[in-house]
A and B are shown apart, each in its own frame.
Chain A
Amino acid sequence: MAVKRFPFLQHPVLPAWDGHCHLNGCPGRTPTERMHWLLEHAARLGIERVIVFMGYPFVYDPDPAELTRQNDQVLQALEHWHDRALGYCYVSPKYPEASIREIDRCVRDGPMVGIKLWVAERCTSPGTAEIVEHLSRYGGVVFQHTWLKATGNLPGESTPEDLAALARRFPQVPFICGHAGGQWRLGLHAVRSTANVLVETAGADPVAGFVERAVDVVGEHRVVYGSDAGGRSFASQLGKVYGARLNMNQKRLILRENLRAVLRPILEAKGLD
């Protein structure tokens, strides 16, 4: 069979899983409609599967009821798309008990395959450890948003260094360092020596050199593609990997295989692989 190539780019289309998507920023009246829209656009760029987390609108510091409401939106969005979409459960270190209940509902008893920690509280807090400890019973990945903003972080916003400290306490749990800290020149080095942390390419400008540097610093098996769509363009973020001076095998790892490998145990357990 002839290899499909992207027009303009003249690059073969590689199978991709997008490890970072939201229903927020997508048009549609319901979670189902938003998911349909998101997947239509993903498919145009060879993205086979997306991982969605958090509902809409974005809430920095959700209370337990809001966590449940947002997780319900994601569960609804996943309903018709188990072959093409996966979900992480939105939790908050400020409410470890409620978060544990959400993990039981959405991961243990539901289809979700990991958790999303955002900016309610830094991941060095005791609540985070409690939540991660609980998740570790069921497998699944911990996705932690991280930034090192040149303009200053939010009070509850974790840095890659915070994440490395957390991840060292749970060496058997795979962690994803969302945005690679934003300022990736600094973020990559902060997680370099923590082997259970993967760095993620989503949600910053597609500045050339990022993905090559990520491979240099943490190795080709610890870099995963994500976009942060709908707020970000699938294209702008995917272009970081397609445009990188890497070989085809390295691009395949980053676009799909690395994420698939860390999710494999829980996907197999749920019959989703």
Chain B
Amino acid sequence: MQLIDVNVWLDYPLPGYEAEGGPAAERLRQLAAMGIIECWAGSFAALFAPDPEPANRELIATCAGWQRPRVRPAVTVNPTLPELDRRFADLARAGVRIVRLYPPAHGYDLADEPFWQAVTLAAKQRMVVQVVCSVEDRRTQPPSVNWPLVDPTPLKAAAARLAAPVVLLNCPARRYGDLLPGVRNVFVDTAMQEGAGVLARLIEQIGATRLLFGSYSPVFYTASNLLKLIESPLPERHLRAIAYHNARRLLQSQ
């Protein structure tokens, strides 16, 4: 079975974390050996830079060199910076389809206008928006990146404005009860979903079309999320949806 991994980071480490898994090229080859034919890859350097553009350009160039797996750049956008229109237009010209937002790093939340501007511009440029909801459980985060969990509930109040698909990465979805089934255009990845048999239980709660395979590699062991696909007894159609089709459809729908 082929997989698309929507939550990969190319450069590493995060401040306060050790570099694991070797250089990016080695890690990407390992992902390919596990059946991952495509990954959506971000850059921590871009996330932490005062202006993400130089690191984004480097990310786009690196991704272009990969076929097995295919690597799509998930470029960092800081919507509090000036010239947001121009930035999105440049990214679109470079062929970018995925933007990655990290609200606590850039000082806004999902109720704030910068986020909605980013969603509107992403929709205009036929892009998917990813929101990184957390780096790690706050109880174990090193002080260097001890950020709060992004609260996704404002998406519900402004559901009509969700013009682009929004994928919540590293979001413990079971905490947000009815958010996902209730709001169109919101998706989550598997990376931080917890509980025995978690995928089957989550599908009961939010349906199989909202869930995308994400490993959060190399911060997390990739094996952890691959094994979730085995832990729950899932019908083949649900497994394929999570592993591949939902991500494919997101890009096609835009």
Contacts and interface: CB of A to CB of B under 8 A. Distances in A.
A154 to B, nearest CB: 11
B225 A149 contact: no
A208 B221 contact: yes
B196 A9 contact: no
Interface string B221-251: 1111111111111000000000000000000
Contacts of A7: 1, 229-230
Contacts of B18: 209, 213
A141 interface: no
Contact of B139 (A41, A151, A206, A227): A151
B224 A237 contact: yes
Interface residues of A, number: 45
Contacts of A184: 140
B195 A206 contact: no
A10 interface: yes
B141 A6 contact: no
Nearest to B197: A41
Given A9-B223, A150-B138, A233 B230 contact: no
Give chain A's interface secondary structure class.
loop
A10 B230 contact: no
B21 interface: yes
Interface of B: 1, 3, 17-18, 20-21, 33-35, 136-143, 146, 192-198, 217-233
Interface of A: 6-11, 25-26, 37-38, 41, 44-45, 147, 149-151, 182-185, 204-209, 213, 227, 229-240, 242-245
17 contacts: A7-B1, A8-B3, A44-B233, A45-B227, A150-B140, A205-B136, A205-B140, A205-B220, A207-B17, A209-B18, A233-B195, A233-B231, A235-B230, A237-B224, A238-B227, A239-B223, A243-B223
